[in-house]
Structure 1
Amino acid sequence: MKFTAVAAACVSLISQVLADSTIAGSSSSKITLPATFKPPQVFKNANLVHIISLEKSYAKESINVLVENVSPEPQDEYFLPFTSQQMERIGGIEVKDRKDATVTGFGLEAVEFDLSSDIQYYRIKLPTPLPAKGQQTLGISFYYLDSVAPLPAAIQQSEKQYLVYQFSAYCLSAYPTLKQKTEVKLPSSDITDYTKLASSGETKEFPQKQGSKLTYGPFPEVPAGAVSPVKVRYEFTKPVNFVSHLERDIEVSHWGGNVAFEERYTLFNHGANLSEQFNRVKWAQAQFFNPQSYALKELRFPLRVGSKDVYFTDVIGNVSTSRFRSNKREANLELKPRYPVFGGWKYPFTIGWNADAKSFLKKKSGDSYILNVPFLEGPKQQEGAAFEQTQIRVLLPEGAENVRFYTTIPESSITGYTVDLQKTYLDTIGRTVLTIKARNLVDDLRDRELIVSYDYSLLASLRKPLIIFSSMITVFVGMWAISKVDVKFSTK
């Protein structure tokens, strides 16, 4: 009884979310403004803290800013500037109120005003207009993919790898900032080179180094649009995992009570290339001591509890160097590629598994169902992984209709969706397929929800068995009719 009550509460909550929200559409649609557009100077940044995390193979940035309305009228549009290069690599943008997590409703849309301009904007729509002299603390977070570069670009098999990241000590802003600082978090204290800036205060120069962290600032008032280019070079003896394409299929079977998952990866290591030919003997000798390496040698996939029938293949065929552990508390897939993936190398592969439909599928009411699955799973590595292009396909039963979806993935990364039909075995009209495309995702977004609601009537569920039954009857009747035909030659 307790489990039933909990399940009913979960279904009620999900249905309410779906009722209050529309289908997540294409976030690639932009607001078109005149080419002469300039963000109106109606705000100032009273205090800003810019945090850059380079602890993984991609850059994660956070901007915590206290915004003040300096105009006499209430304002609800805050513009966030990026360079054109950053716009191509940015993903996972989220905005929230730093002081009150219950405040929701922040809108985020890309602004298109002049494609030739190096500065582009995202427009943040505040939930409620900020009155004159009013203040609000915004927490803005996002990721940059493929933004670090190895230096040197080619090294030997046993050498350490160093990466370079370029940014601005002044956080790029469309508004003047009264006080700010930039913190850079690195994976280790081995920071071989970084740009130094002169200071007019008590500190002689920036940055201040504390272990694996660099701090630029605090800086006094900085005008809108000001930048101060800096560069940091640091040790990163791990692979730079970059998935250019991920195709994830989720197939729902009501009759089989099963949800089948399959993921197809095109994986690259964007780390330093080898300066000489790969030596397998040296590699085997080094593995005896298990040193750190910038080559990718294994992948770990934490799956949902209850996952089964796991398989792992690449372009050659089945790969036996894998291990799957499953019990009541965990389900982990550990696998090794056929070869260590060094910088510049590519490794395409496929994994798949089955799971009990009861873990993901709930009946809402009548003919309505709700499917709740992770939008993104993928490998969970210490060094992280980035996904440039992601396609999610949810294959629903034949006859499913009125399909809607909601996801907790940042809307700025969703580029579009379609609902089509696809014919498979013994289908007549074809199965309903929901396809969602996303860009610039990272493993930090693992296990974000994808909730799909649809209607599946009793008649639709009986369509396939009735067709199979009628087909068999037709075949038997046809065979009986043929058997009654007299094909003997007459003697007359």
Structure 2
Amino acid sequence: MLLLSLLLPFAAAAAPPADYVNTAISRTVELGGAIARVSTQFSVKALVDSPGAYHLALAGEGDAVPAFWEVTAGGKVLDVTLPTSDCSPSTVQIDLGRLKKDETTTIALLQLLAHTIEPLPKVIEQSDPQYLRWTTNSTYVDSWYLTDVERIKIRSPTANILSHGSVSSTYARDNTVTKASSTVTLGPFTSLPATLGGDVPRQPFNVHYETREPVVGLKTLKRSAEVSHWGGNLNIQDEMNLVNNGPKLKGHFNRLAHMQSRFHAASPAQIFKEFSLRLPASAHSAYYYDTIGNVSWSHFRPGTSSKRPKSRAVDSVLELKPRYPLLGGWNYSFTMGYDMPLEDVLKSDGSRKVLGVPFMTSWQDLLVEDAEMNIILPEGATNIEVFAPFPADISRWTHKTYLDSTGRPAITLRKSLCTENHAQTVYVTYTYSSGAQLQKPLTVAAVIGGLFILGFGLRRVDYSLDKKTA
């Protein structure tokens, strides 16, 4: 049985010992509008008894680290830590336990790649189709070990593939590149030497394809989560700067042509008109406004919670339509928020509290360039600890608002290049004693009492200008 509890970072660029061979590598690349989803299966065989750690490359020489990546072995997701050094290529070590010679195991690697897809052409007419080009710096899968058989499949969202690159390889028996419908297949490649630390040349490859969905992203996402113990409420508010990253509009926007396209079977793909966000089942009191003011077109469908056994929760849905349609290169800034019962996200063990807040709302095929989440705890919370599901910059500060005395402790998490897979829960533990719970009402009582005393004292003051003489 595999021992998968220990994973060590590896930063050295030197080739590791040849204690393993990849008997088969199968990679599937799902192309989208903003993100390329790469799933790779490694069938690994030990060449010696009790081999060392397996060195798994996350990126090739000179390539950027994926926006999101996840390693699975033995059916379990491994807690992999990326090396802190800037040495390239980025590689992690995985301890597979005491394997015997010729014993095999399987490793799965999921990667979400950002900034590998670009519009081509970059400028189009309002009614033109939308084409994108995905580019990779290496035709082969990056690996430190010899590979017996390797095959790569690249899937386009549509069957309309204008062109794709070519591969010149001595490791392929038949056609190196084949196309069938919306899939481009590379290989199979056989007896492939190590592509890292070896003499195998890196060959770039690209696929030029059509997509019929707008390419949207968020330049910035700022989430604020404010906890109220007295109100039993958690307020979530998101400030979003939305941008259409598709081909830019050539010329001026034609409102008449846009209105006429609404009656056609398919409107221009590059125009972003509306979207839906899935919120927690217990979300309520949703709101939505932009920099001008309240936006009237929105529809909130509340979900149902699974309070009863064998019942399934149904998420709430917030349907939104921007004030104007977004074409390529256009921006739209807005704010949306909602409330939810605090009991759904807070667990108590006496005075010790455990709070779980989602880092962001899941949005398929969306890339967030810079995300920030502020968690504002109640006044008087102490012994605060933060547990993030991924590496992030964490800072602490004090939030002060009306009727606060010492201020509310706040935590800020920042991360760049976020995807839908980063919509995970951030846990915060803190101590909130009975005395701390009375801090707010005592402050309010002191303020009101002070106002009464001040008013009582002011009424006893003589404000007349002419004083009576004896």
TM-score range, shorter chain: 0.7 to 0.9
Q: Is the 8 A contact 1:149 1:165 kept in 2?
A: yes
- Which residue, out of 193, 216, 238, partners 1:223? 193
Q: Which runs of 5+ in 2 are unaligned?
A: 1-7, 305-313
CA gap 1:339/1:478 in 2 versus in 1, 3 angstroms: closer
CA–CA distance in structure 2, aligned partners of residues 269 and 84 of structure 1: 31
Distance 1:278 1:113, change over 3 A: closer
Contact 1:111 1:123 in 2 (8 A): no
**Contact 2:171 2:190 (C-alpha < 8 Å) held by counterparts:** no
Which residue of structure 2 aligns with residue 399 of structure 1? Answer: 380
CA distance, structure 2, for counterparts of residue 219 and residue 32 of structure 1 = 28
1:260 has 2:235 as partner: yes
The 1-side partners of 2:254 and 2:388 are apart by 46
Structure-2 change in CA distance of 1:350 and 1:86 (3 Å): farther
Is 1:343 paired with 2:328?
A: yes
Residue equivalent to 1:180: 150
Aligned counterparts, 1:199-210, within 5 A: 204-210=174-180
Please list, as runs of the form range in 1=range in 2, the aligned pairs for 1:227-238 lying within 5 A after superposition: 227-238=202-213
Q: Name the structure 1 match of 2:75.
A: 101
- For residue 385 of structure 1, report the CA deviation from its aligned partner: 1.1
- Paired letter, 2:378: P
Contact 1:151 1:162 (8 Å CA) reproduced? yes
1:92 shift after superposition: 1.4
Q: Compared with structure 1, are the counterparts of its residues 216 and 274 closer, same or farther at alpha carbon in structure 2 (3 Å cutoff)?
A: same
Deviations 1:128-159 (A, max 9, x none): 46566554321111111122111111111111
- How far 1:238 moved relative to its partner? 1.6
Asked if 1:110 is matched to 2:83, the reply is yes
What percent identity do the matched residue pairs reach? 28
1:434-445 matches, within 5 Å, as: 434-445=411-422
1:155 maps to: 124
Aligned length: 444
Amino acid at match of 1:209: K
Q: Which moved more, 1:231-240 or 1:53-62?
A: 53-62
* Partners of 2:167 and 2:203 within 8 A in 1: no
Provide the rounded CA distance (Å) in 1 between the counterparts of 2:351 and 2:285.
Answer: 30
1:3 aligns with none
Q: What letter corresponds to residue 351 of structure 1 in structure 2?
A: M
Q: CA deviation at 1:64?
A: 1.2
Flag the 1:46–1:111 CA change in 2: closer, same or farther, 3 A.
Answer: farther
Secondary structure of 2:64 counterpart: helix
Residue 236 of structure 1: how far off its partner (Å): 0.8
Q: Which has the higher contact order (CA 8 A, sep 6+)?
A: 1
Q: Aligned partners of 1:107 and 1:300: how far apart in 2?
A: 33
Q: C-alpha separation between the residues in 1 aligned to 2:410 and 2:100? A: 46
Aligned counterpart, 1:14: none
Residues 182-223 of structure 1, C-alpha deviations (whole Å, 9 max, x = no match) = 111111111111123467799642323232222111101222
Partner SS state of residue 440, structure 2: helix
Alpha-carbon shift at residue 371 of structure 1 (Å): 1.9
Q: Which residue of 2 aligns with 1:478?
A: 454
TM-score by length of 2: 0.87
Deviation at 1:297, TM superposition (A): 0.8
Larger proportion of helix = 1
Query: Given residue 283 of structure 2, which amino acid in structure 1 is its aligned partner?
Result: S
In the TM superposition, what whole-angstrom CA distance separates every residue of 1:325-368 from its partner, at most 9, and x where no partner exists? 225344211111122211112112111111122222222x1101
Match of 1:390 in 2: 371
- Whether contact under 8 Å (2:394, 2:411) holds in the other structure is yes
From the superposition, tell whether residues 113 and 199 of structure 1 become closer, same or farther in structure 2 (CA, over 3 Å). Answer: closer
Residues of 1 paired with 2:341 and 2:248: CA distance?
43
Cα distance, 1:84–1:276 mapped onto 2, change above 3 Å: farther
Partner Cα separation in structure 2 for residue 323 and residue 336 of structure 1? 9
Paired position in structure 2 for 1:63 = 40
- Could you tell me how far 1:464 is from its partner in structure 2? 0.9
1:421–1:491 CA distance, 2 compared to 1 (3 A): same
Instruction: For residue 398 of structure 1, give the secondary structure of its aligned residue in structure 2.
Output: coil
Letter aligned with residue 343 of structure 1: G
Change (3 A) 1:86 1:290: farther
Q: Is the 8 A contact 1:198 1:205 kept in 2?
A: no
Q: Identify if the C-alpha distance between structure 1 residues 126 and 295 changes in structure 2 by more than 3 Å, giving closer, same or farther.
A: farther
